[in-house]
Structure 1
């Protein structure tokens, strides 16, 4: 049976939409998109300082330092996820299903518990400088090392009592950077990823049956740009070198792009891991990030015990 004129007319439009989405997603994966800053810690009644420091390769990074008080204090570094900024994520700017992620509740809770907090924009995000392409950990680890180095230059930071919260690609970033930033005391890593698994699941979810082909082709782009190949990335490798830090992993059980198995493998490689909290999230990756918003007492409790 031949297709109707309507079917024949719709098909090119669908193909065009699919191509546009593919191009848009590819650009987001490689180049990123800057989420503007629309809020500050003052919204939660927190005093803060505008700070500027540099990654180990010289990229300028901007952030906020929120002091616990007037004297030296233990300090927690926030490391945000892909396409976010130092405050978290604002939903609705990307061509896939996302949700708001708000760092302020946990930041306020940590401050009130006696911790200083540094929250900053990774390279290619927010107000920080450029470094392309995005590598989802290996090159961004330079930003984390720069942040820790900066904190150790401050008189109001206890140099050997620094911890971090890494979200998604920010979790990978912490793991890649941590071996060069030791000693660190406590790391909370929420939904880290192995890029081959994430890219394949994400591409198939967004682009259908050809998504896996698109995901595998990313190696070519990164090879041409002389950047770390996605297929060779495994955060379990640097995690094995994070000695002396207690690490707690969190993974949402409803995440369609990440997997419990990957996070468990990373955890197993980590010398001092407390294991993986299986967060009871409904279907969706962003639902797993609610751990840092809804379970702030647990977040503070982790740092109270290990930092």
Structure 2
């Protein structure tokens, strides 16, 4: 029984954070948009893969999407058409170990290494494709990965962070099952860190979100989100410096912040990117605020 109590939550965590195994070889043809299958390297030698949707202007700004836990690039598909029609290139990609990207499928690190994958995506857009004007949208751990990446590199010019957690330690604390003893739960989480080779201390957007300033960040949170309760959302928002803004979705759960939340907010998000990117020196020659 003690072995079951110790191993069951560890197995559950592994299952909950593992991306789907379905093939991504079928193209996103239902969008009826031209796209390219792309690949680019990480700094530690892995190859990430995704879809690039070009717009008519070759030097237009680009928006990348960072998926949530246990999701791949398909999670961003519903955002492509409105962004494309608004004049943006769009990059959807899968993290290491997800989709068709290389890497350990069972080592999701809640934004630690995934933020390095965002670094690689930004580098691909800016250096390989020559697009210096880049923004990002992310949900949950994807939003965390965006914040961690943007805190390191100024090349991510504007961020939409939907339902990010302040720190991994906070997220684990809030989401601990009530019936599970705290010492045993902590032991399981430490085993997860050891198995995956990362530390929760690497995943603390609360400590670095201020570094995005003067680049803008827009937060989106759900009032009915039990994974990221409003008080946790407020802590992270307070740690950010201006320019910053926040949108509250009154009845949205954690999952609903992404869909239908972000889908319904696309006019506001597009306005945010047009306005924010038009003030970045790298973007002023190619984009003006509508």
Distance change >3 Å, CA 257–CA 58, structure 1 → 2: same
Max Rg structure: 1
Distance change >3 Å, CA 216–CA 130, structure 1 → 2: same
Whole-Å separation in 2 of the counterparts to 1:275 and 1:177? 19
Q: Which residue of 2 aligns with 1:149?
A: 123
TM-score calculated relative to the size of structure 2: 0.83
TM-score calculated relative to the size of structure 1: 0.79
Question: Which one of 167, 175, 179 corresponds to residue 147 of structure 2?
Answer: 175
Residues 55 and 88 in structure 2, CA contact (< 8 A), matched pair in contact too: yes
Residues 19 and 72 in structure 2, CA contact (< 8 A), matched pair in contact too: no
Q: Is 1:46 matched up with 2:33?
A: yes
Distance change >3 Å, CA 242–CA 35, structure 1 → 2: farther
Quote how far apart the aligned CAs of 1:16 are: 11
Distance change >3 Å, CA 179–CA 129, structure 1 → 2: same
Give the number of equivalent residue pairs: 273
Once the two structures are superposed, the pairs formed by residues 100-179 of structure 1 within 5 Å of their partners are 103-131=76-104, 133-155=107-129, 157-159=130-132, 161-179=133-151
Matched residue SS, 1:306 = helix
Q: Which runs of 5+ in 1 are unaligned?
A: 1-11, 89-102
Question: Which one of 247, 251, 267 corresponds to residue 281 of structure 1?
Answer: 251
Quote how far apart the aligned CAs of 1:19 are: 8.0
Q: Which runs of 5+ in 2 are unaligned?
A: 278-290
Once the two structures are superposed, the pairs formed by residues 1-307 of structure 1 within 5 Å of their partners are 22-28=9-15, 32-37=18-23, 40-88=27-75, 103-131=76-104, 133-155=107-129, 157-159=130-132, 161-193=133-165, 194-204=167-177, 208-210=178-180, 212-222=182-192, 224-225=194-195, 227-230=197-200, 233-282=203-252, 284-289=253-258, 290-307=260-277
Q: Which residue of 2 aligns with 1:9?
A: none
Residues 106 and 299 in structure 1, CA contact (< 8 A), matched pair in contact too: no
Quote how far apart the aligned CAs of 1:70 are: 4.8
Quote how far apart the aligned CAs of 1:249 are: 0.5
Whole-Å separation in 2 of the counterparts to 1:104 and 1:32? 20
User: Which runs of at least 4 in structure 1 moved beyond 4 Å after TM superposition?
Assistant: 15-21, 211-214
Matched residue SS, 1:275 = strand
Whole-Å separation in 2 of the counterparts to 1:265 and 1:235? 11
Residues 239 and 269 in structure 1, CA contact (< 8 A), matched pair in contact too: yes
Residues 240 and 271 in structure 1, CA contact (< 8 A), matched pair in contact too: yes
Distance change >3 Å, CA 23–CA 228, structure 1 → 2: closer
Matched residue SS, 2:212 = coil
Distance change >3 Å, CA 120–CA 265, structure 1 → 2: same
Residues 193 and 200 in structure 2, CA contact (< 8 A), matched pair in contact too: no
